[in-house]
Structure 1
Amino acid sequence: MDMGSHGVRAGERVGGRFELVEPIGKGGMAQVWRAVDAATGREVAVKFLRLDSEDLHQLDTDERLAELDMLRGRFRRETTLLGRLDHPGIPELFGHGAHQDTPYIAMRLVTGVTLHDFLKAHRPVPLSVAAAVAAQVADALACAHTHPVVHRDLKPQNIMISDDGIGTLIDFGIARPLLSGATRYTPHGSSLGSHGYQAPEQILGKDPTTLTDIYSFGCVCYQLFAGRAPFVLDGSKGMLEQHLYDEPLPLGMFAVGVPEVLDDLVLRMLSKDQERRPGVEEVLKVLEPFTPRPGDPEPRPRMRPDPTVPFRLADRARDPRPAVPAPSAPVVEEEWLDVRAVERLCEEVEREIHDGDPDGAVRRLSALAQRARREWGARRPLVRRVWELTADGLRVAGDCAAAARFYQGIADELIRGDGPGERADRAVLRLRTAECRLAFGEIEAAIEAVRDAGYVAAGLPAELAARVEQVRREVDVDVTERLFKGRPPRP
């Protein structure tokens, strides 16, 4: 029988549900088995924490116990993150626990090839294929960043192209949430990630932000579009030194036909200065025109798996996640929105926010916000109330990215005119947007918003100025704390 390094064997049933078939991968931290879920009959991946690695055996007793505590903590955090991240390009969690005192995670099994092997087999890849891979990974990364979670180890070996052509982001073993209260499982000043893909701030041991992932993803995109890494060992400089100090050459130096807008995007993703890197939403926006369209021909030469399938054959592309019964429709889901029902839902959201625990009501309200805007128009006060309560509720709930989008949407779509009231509203909305973006490490934008709000408040009537000043002080305190503690705050 096959036996893992920590003693589990083929045929054993884990958690009373997952029957082990064969080991399919092993790294320094974990071993992964193919298994069958007895509850559903589908194949799954079961990931075990390795408690017997060579590195652990070389440590003395105290060091080994400390290292094991850290590894168990990371493993628990990976379990939590997979349970939160809901995206077809991220394996979902099916179960977790301990088997023979060894922690395990059961998740969707992604069959296919790593991007590393895909590029070895097909390099150079056509532009549409490269864009299809990049866009799918960016979309999965956007889901992670929404929470906000930093992957910290983006590289071709941690990206799968499934048999159905779906780009999938795997291995959240060293991923880290950015929200306050998260436990650090890395000594401050230590460097995580993989050589050749680490952002300069990772190499220097600084705290990561979502823009740290953008740098690593920029290295991946450079390989996709240029056919080689942005930096290679040439005998004169080490890899880390190049990532710290050298500027990558334009992609067009190595590949013909790379559009200028993609060249510019990837080079900005590789900026040494985090503030100059684009966010993942901008990356998606730039990539979208270059992805395949329904009905486009199959790439030549043929490739298996084919990452253009989810774009070309939208009717055949399927979500790899198991179907979940749709929730019952909320009371307001009728042919037309019912004003009283929406008002009652707003009141429920207000109670949730007051109690400091917004959850189900704010999610239902957020699902109706765009519909309310379409049916009732931008001038109806109830629409503004729906959007503001949605934004406030999502912010308090910790969904910073979604809250920022609603705050920005109110400023862009629901405020007309330039009187004192409108100027005060826009200043507050910009402050709230900046407050939300602080979770992603965007401190400079928050500093600018605080400064500009001070100028706006100085020109407003006393009552309006006081409202702006209250929010300005809240955000200013948050900025000051983060600057004092480092960027982003160290959990």
Structure 2
Amino acid sequence: MDADAYRPGAGDLVDGCYELSDSLGKGGMAQVWRAREVSDGREIAVKFLRHDSEALHCLDPQEREAELTVRNARFQREARLLGTLDHPGIPELYGSGSHQGMPYIAMRLVNGVSLRTFLDEHSPLPLATAVAVAAQMAHALACAHTLPVVHRDLKPANVMIDDEGRVVLIDFGIAKPLRSDATRYTAHGSTLGTRGYLAPEQILELDPTTRTDVYCFGCIFYELLTGRPPFPLGADSGLTDKHLNEVPLPPSVHAAGIPEAIDDLVLQMLAKKPDQRPYVDEVLAVLGPFAPRSGDPETRPRTHPDPTAPLRRPEELTTCPRAVPVPPPAVSAPVEGEWLEYRTIDRLCARAESEIASGEPGEAAVRLRELTARVRKEWGDRRPVVRRVWQGAADGLRLAGDFGSAARLYQVVDEALIHGDGPAERAERAVTRLRLAECRLTFGELEAAVAAVDTAGRTAAGLPSELANRVEAVRVAVDVQLTARLTDR
């Protein structure tokens, strides 16, 4: 690039705050240096946007300027995202700015090895080690998806295992917030991601959702379990077609001792259609019984680093905070051994509904969440109060910003708790499906929202006016959000 462009060097003092020591490597768009923070002496990583990459040399001046503008914007967005994401599996942001015209990001230094290096040295992995890596990845992804943010470039080279065994997702350079006001920095015809780890919708240049990450994660998990990706990379020109059309063999074909539940999970993660893949917290739920637990012995053969160590020492783990904090309940839930009392639950539902109507779910709404499993267990699926508890819990979670949890509750209401086909049931079903679509819209699933809005409109047309008005009020609200997102595409 420009002859006078800044090139980082050992001993440079960046912005008067960070003294560079040695280069940790560089890619096509960025380079990373180890540095010392002058104020307290701690070691950190400083990532610089490259203005001298080989790809830029191939462009004419006008194209080069346009590409640099896009890269600068992505780099600034990466800094903003790191400042928002708060999880031990995602590097913390310490600062960002520009030094001698070169944008930089200062962040936590991850001392360890890349998952690519780890796999090259230790494959095949014991099942416990493979699941430990996958579970930690899933925890970090769940944090990002709660916002919601899609990483879009998950691959073994973008996963680190630190010296203590913690798994850390790195390089959010092309990550994308799934908000209606998020700016697009991708031109059609420029597929983002890495060959061999692209979801079908990325290959087809469709909008990503959180389940785009789940597909890429599935490719990595497959390799963790078997020592090979679902479709070998090589120079095979048919790789793209395989990701678009071919169903991979179950992992157990390539490695012994893989439980059927893990086999099924991986194949679901690699489904061609995004809506057929699980959400990342559903992945976590399947992994749970197979993950190492506190007090378990070291896995053999031993590896360094040891990804099972943080799970065997759970006191060293922290949890991802909610995107929007929910106040804790002031009153404890009913004692597990006691029968639930109808009048108590009815009053609790009324209080929660009042909170939800005000737009500020509080203690009662939180209490309903604690009772969802119990009311179904004790009273079954057909009593209206059970549906009322689940509906109130889902509404509270939605208003609190926990759209993934709310979506799962709405889905149960739709599939198991609404009975009959009278006008009231049709209205209830339409509203529930609209709310489910509203939650999934947050994760970029636009087509499902379009279908729900269209179906709700037809349903409302055949209902008595009072019920029709209720459906229409929700339909219009969801349609406004949908229109904003479609306009932004």
Scaled to the shorter chain, the TM-score interval is: 0.7 to 0.9
Q: For residue 172 of structure 2, what is the amino acid of its counterpart?
A: F
Structure 2: gaps spanning 5 or more residues? 334-349, 376-384
d(CA) in 2 for partners of 1:200 and 1:438? 20
How far did 1:144 drift?
1.4
The equivalent residue for 1:340 is none
Q: Does 1:467 align with 2:470?
A: yes
Q: Does 1:370 align with 2:366?
A: yes
Helix, strand or coil: the match of 2:314? coil
Residue by residue, what CA displacement relative to the aligned partner does 1:198-246 show, whole Å, maximum 9, x if unpaired? Answer: 1122122222222221111111011011221111257764322322232
The equivalent residue for 1:190 is 190
Helix, strand or coil: the match of 2:184? coil
- Deviates most, 446-455 or 54-63: 446-455
The answer to whether the 8 A contact 1:78-1:173 is kept is yes
- Deviates most, 182-191 or 444-453: 444-453
Helix, strand or coil: the match of 1:160? strand
Residue 335 to residue 19, structure 1, CA distance change in 2 (3 Å): farther
Residue 98 to residue 426, structure 1, CA distance change in 2 (3 Å): same
d(CA) in 1 for partners of 2:221 and 2:204? 23
How far did 1:412 drift?
10
The answer to whether the 8 A contact 1:89-1:136 is kept is yes
Residue 60 to residue 123, structure 1, CA distance change in 2 (3 Å): same
The equivalent residue for 1:10 is 10
Helix, strand or coil: the match of 1:168? strand
Q: For residue 250 of structure 2, what is the amino acid of its counterpart?
A: P
The answer to whether the 8 A contact 2:92-2:107 is kept is yes
Q: Does 1:264 align with 2:259?
A: no
The equivalent residue for 2:436 is 433
How far did 1:441 drift?
3.4
d(CA) in 2 for partners of 1:312 and 1:320? 16
Q: For residue 277 of structure 1, what is the amino acid of its counterpart?
A: R
d(CA) in 2 for partners of 1:307 and 1:77? 30
TM-score by length of 1: 0.80
How far did 1:288 drift?
1.3
Pairing of 1:310-389 with structure 2 (within 5 A): 310-315=310-315, 317-319=316-318, 369-371=365-367
Q: Does 1:65 align with 2:65?
A: yes
Q: For residue 269 of structure 1, what is the amino acid of its counterpart?
A: M
Residue 165 to residue 367, structure 1, CA distance change in 2 (3 Å): farther
- Deviates most, 68-77 or 52-61: 52-61
Residue by residue, what CA displacement relative to the aligned partner does 1:183-207 show, whole Å, maximum 9, x if unpaired? Answer: 1111023211111111122122222
Residue by residue, what CA displacement relative to the aligned partner does 1:107-138 show, whole Å, maximum 9, x if unpaired? Answer: 11111111111111110001111011011111
The equivalent residue for 2:202 is 202
How far did 1:429 drift?
3.6
- Deviates most, 218-227 or 431-440: 431-440
The answer to whether the 8 A contact 2:6-2:101 is kept is no
Pairing of 1:22-41 with structure 2 (within 5 A): 22-41=22-41
d(CA) in 1 for partners of 2:462 and 2:481? 24
d(CA) in 1 for partners of 2:121 and 2:267? 25
The equivalent residue for 1:358 is none
The answer to whether the 8 A contact 2:398-2:439 is kept is no
Q: Percent identity?
A: 56
Pairing of 1:202-351 with structure 2 (within 5 A): 202-233=202-233, 237-315=237-315, 317-319=316-318
How far did 1:56 drift?
2.0
Q: For residue 433 of structure 2, what is the amino acid of its counterpart?
A: R
d(CA) in 1 for partners of 2:469 and 2:162? 55
Structure 1: gaps spanning 5 or more residues? 338-342, 354-361
Q: Does 1:105 align with 2:105?
A: yes
Q: Does 1:48 align with 2:48?
A: yes
d(CA) in 2 for partners of 1:368 and 1:15? 50
d(CA) in 1 for partners of 2:190 and 2:353? 46
The equivalent residue for 2:115 is 115
Helix, strand or coil: the match of 1:25? strand
Q: For residue 134 of structure 1, what is the amino acid of its counterpart?
A: A
Residue 39 to residue 24, structure 1, CA distance change in 2 (3 Å): same
The equivalent residue for 1:130 is 130
The answer to whether the 8 A contact 1:131-1:287 is kept is yes
Residue by residue, what CA displacement relative to the aligned partner does 1:427-486 show, whole Å, maximum 9, x if unpaired? Answer: 42432121120222334544564466567657765323311222124435655776x66x
TM-score by length of 2: 0.80
Q: For residue 282 of structure 2, what is the amino acid of its counterpart?
A: E
Residue 410 to residue 38, structure 1, CA distance change in 2 (3 Å): farther
The answer to whether the 8 A contact 1:6-1:52 is kept is no
d(CA) in 2 for partners of 1:7 and 1:213? 34
Helix, strand or coil: the match of 1:197? coil
The equivalent residue for 1:88 is 88
Q: For residue 179 of structure 1, what is the amino acid of its counterpart?
A: R
Residue by residue, what CA displacement relative to the aligned partner does 1:333-375 show, whole Å, maximum 9, x if unpaired? Answer: 86779xxxxx999999988x6xxxxxxxx6xx66885357659
The equivalent residue for 1:359 is none
d(CA) in 2 for partners of 1:35 and 1:413? 56
The answer to whether the 8 A contact 2:6-2:100 is kept is no
The Cα RMSD (Å) is: 3.9
- Deviates most, 172-181 or 406-415: 406-415
Q: How many pairs does the alignment contain?
A: 455
Residue by residue, what CA displacement relative to the aligned partner does 1:378-416 show, whole Å, maximum 9, x if unpaired? Answer: 889x99998577445445xxx643654676699899999
The equivalent residue for 1:142 is 142
How far did 1:265 drift?
1.5
d(CA) in 2 for partners of 1:39 and 1:344? 52
How far did 1:16 drift?
3.2
Residue by residue, what CA displacement relative to the aligned partner does 1:143-174 show, whole Å, maximum 9, x if unpaired? Answer: 11222211111100001111111111110001
d(CA) in 2 for partners of 1:320 and 1:384? 25
Residue 470 to residue 253, structure 1, CA distance change in 2 (3 Å): same
Q: For residue 370 of structure 1, what is the amino acid of its counterpart?
A: V
d(CA) in 1 for partners of 2:210 and 2:290? 24
Q: For residue 196 of structure 2, what is the amino acid of its counterpart?
A: G
d(CA) in 1 for partners of 2:14 and 2:299? 42
d(CA) in 2 for partners of 1:277 and 1:349? 31
d(CA) in 2 for partners of 1:420 and 1:320? 44
